[in-house]
Structure 1
Amino acid sequence: MVGAPRTEGLSLAVVVAHPDDDAYGMAGMVALHADDPGFRFTLIHATDGGAGDIREGFPATRETLGRIRQQEDEDGWRALGREPDRHEWLGYRDGEVDQVPFDELVDVVAAILEEEQPTVVGTFGPDGIFAHPDHITIGAATDAAFARHASTAGTAFRRLLHSAIPQSVFERWQQQRAEKGMWQFDPTQVYHMRGVPDAEIGLVVDTSSVAHRTVAGLMEHKSQHHVMFDYPVDAERWQRIMRRDWASVAWPERAPGSPVLTDPFEGLP
């Protein structure tokens, strides 16, 4: 855990839309603190991912995919080596989170967060990374839930993070894909990756020491490998990709020129 401060009584809550959303973005941060005494990890999923794509030959049906993906997600955290201390499945329909009354969604997320009193909360920003409506909606609801409790004192609700891809990194990945003759993301389209301006990135975590653990977790999401990976799956390439976690700091507001954080708990008591 080189570069990661020890966490004593600090906690992280991650709120996402689908199984495998949590396997990217902040999984490396969890792996870095996996063995810290007192570290608590709460995970909230809005849906079971039951409307996801089913590739030809995979043993799933529309009726069973959600249960399969839930199990894959739980298996993924075991493979990473740090299961959530609390894992909540909210049970909303995949692809329809934006149709849930917004106040209801906020209330449900806020109730769990109030019970957990997390130090740091992580979710999607308004870009949703892929502009997926479920991502954007659960992110906005989490922001609203966090705002009810945001605090400048104590150890709870001290920082709100939005997972993000820096624009410079996104462009580099696009160039590498072009050089390999691979298809390109179109950031004007829904379900396509996009970056955010580098100046908006307030957290860059070196997760290279635990990238193998993060990739081990990703590999458990077998039903979605055709969506997540370019075939054939290259685990070594993905370990290189997973050497960093990035996020914008949505709260508290960063002053212009503030140094970029290197750990989600940096500077917190």
Structure 2
Amino acid sequence: MILTAPPRLLLVHAHPDDESLWTGGTIARYAANGAHVTLVTCTLGEEGEVIPDGLALLAADESDQLGGYRNGELRSACAALGVVDHRYLGGIGRWRDSGMVGVASNAKPRAFIQGDFTEQASALLEIIKEVRPDVVVTYGPDGGYGHPDHIRAHEITTVACAQSSDVRRVFHVVTSKRATEAGVAELSAVRDLPYRLPEPGELPVTPDEQISTVVQVADHLDAKLRALRAHQTQVTVWQNDSGWSCYALSNGIAQPIVDSEYYILASGVPDGIADDLFGGLG
């Protein structure tokens, strides 16, 4: 980086745990290097499936207390990653997790996808005006894997950033096809793996020729793993004595933990972005 002032990074994620799953290494890397990192979370993740049996009654169809619990998980994850500036879009609890495509929770009045689009984009723009980020990160047009809240997060971020002269680059976070397949191949040799391996094409990936930026996060994987463990209702992390590690969501599918995170430049000058979100910005 050659910025004379501390670089300012803003990330827009749909639910608690998305920041760690998608961008945990990136957040930890830039925070450790002195960047001002702002995380915006759009919902409390109330519709998530609960992994630990002892916490099952938190779920939406039981006591419906999962959102508050996940707020605590997110606070712990932010501490692990070095995030000191976290905001909920519109204030904590303003919009509710919509759930996956086609489920009844999509129609709840407070669901994020039922919210007023202009209000949501305006709320994000107000944060952008205050923080004045150089770089903004969110999902691509498909939300990474089609979740309605991820898609809405992409849409409002696109609109809000287009109205700000401070934002110099917007990136979409993606997963690398090559790195994911290599990671799964390595996991296939691990004998004591507690999860099932994904079937070919089961994990969402992006062809590597579409990827513009590869952020090395090998030195920050410990922080990412601590953040993932903080989200105990949503994620389980496994490591063995030989140094192998992976994680799984409630579906029990092993997902590799790779040493880079991957991005596509959506807007801004491309010079210097091969391995640094802020590369070439002066």
Partner of 2:163: 148
Aligned residue type for 1:137: R
Structure 1 residues 9 and 259: alpha-carbon distance in aligned structure 2, compared to 1, 3 A threshold: closer
Structure 1 residues 193 and 265: alpha-carbon distance in aligned structure 2, compared to 1, 3 A threshold: same
Of 185, 209, 224 in structure 2, the residue corresponding to residue 214 of structure 1 is: 224
Q: TM-score, normalization: structure 1?
A: 0.81
Equivalent residues of 2:41, 2:88 under 8 A apart: yes
Structure 1 residues 219 and 24: alpha-carbon distance in aligned structure 2, compared to 1, 3 A threshold: same
In 2, the alpha carbon distance for the partners of 1:86 and 1:175 equals 36
CA drift of 1:22 comes to 0.3
Q: Secondary structure at the match of 1:224?
A: coil
Aligned residue type for 2:132: Q
Q: Secondary structure at the match of 2:42?
A: strand
Of 41, 56, 80 in structure 1, the residue corresponding to residue 37 of structure 2 is: 41
Taking the TM superposition and a 5 Å limit, the aligned residue runs for 1:226-265 are: 229=237, 233-234=238-239, 236=243, 237-238=245-246, 241-252=257-268, 254=270, 261-265=274-278
Partner of 1:268: 281
Equivalent residues of 1:203, 1:262 under 8 A apart: yes
In 2, the alpha carbon distance for the partners of 1:35 and 1:56 equals 32
CA drift of 1:104 comes to 2.2
Structure 1 residues 89 and 260: alpha-carbon distance in aligned structure 2, compared to 1, 3 A threshold: closer
Farther off after superposition, 130-139 or 87-96: 87-96
In 2, the alpha carbon distance for the partners of 1:224 and 1:19 equals 9
Partner of 2:123: 108
Equivalent residues of 1:124, 1:135 under 8 A apart: yes
Q: Secondary structure at the match of 1:58?
A: helix
Partner of 2:95: 92
In 2, the alpha carbon distance for the partners of 1:168 and 1:16 equals 24
Unaligned runs of 5+ in 1: none
> What do the CA deviations read for 1:231-261 (whole angstroms, capped 9, x no partner)?
xx2274149724111111101265xxx7752
In 2, the alpha carbon distance for the partners of 1:28 and 1:110 equals 26
CA drift of 1:196 comes to 1.8
Across the aligned residues of Structure 1 and Structure 2, the Cα RMSD in angstroms comes to 2.7
CA drift of 1:115 comes to 1.5
In 2, the alpha carbon distance for the partners of 1:6 and 1:210 equals 22
In 1, the alpha carbon distance for the partners of 2:24 and 2:147 equals 20
In 2, the alpha carbon distance for the partners of 1:211 and 1:174 equals 17
> What do the CA deviations read for 1:74-117 (whole angstroms, capped 9, x no partner)?
1112123x123242344311013222232222111112111211
Equivalent residues of 2:140, 2:154 under 8 A apart: yes
Q: Secondary structure at the match of 1:15?
A: strand
Partner of 1:157: 167
CA drift of 1:209 comes to 0.8
Give identity over the alignment, percent: 26
In 2, the alpha carbon distance for the partners of 1:43 and 1:183 equals 31
Equivalent residues of 1:8, 1:36 under 8 A apart: no
Farther off after superposition, 66-75 or 163-172: 163-172
Partner of 1:22: 19
Partner of 2:208: 198
In 2, the alpha carbon distance for the partners of 1:46 and 1:135 equals 9
In 2, the alpha carbon distance for the partners of 1:196 and 1:131 equals 13
Partner of 2:46: 50
In 2, the alpha carbon distance for the partners of 1:203 and 1:268 equals 15
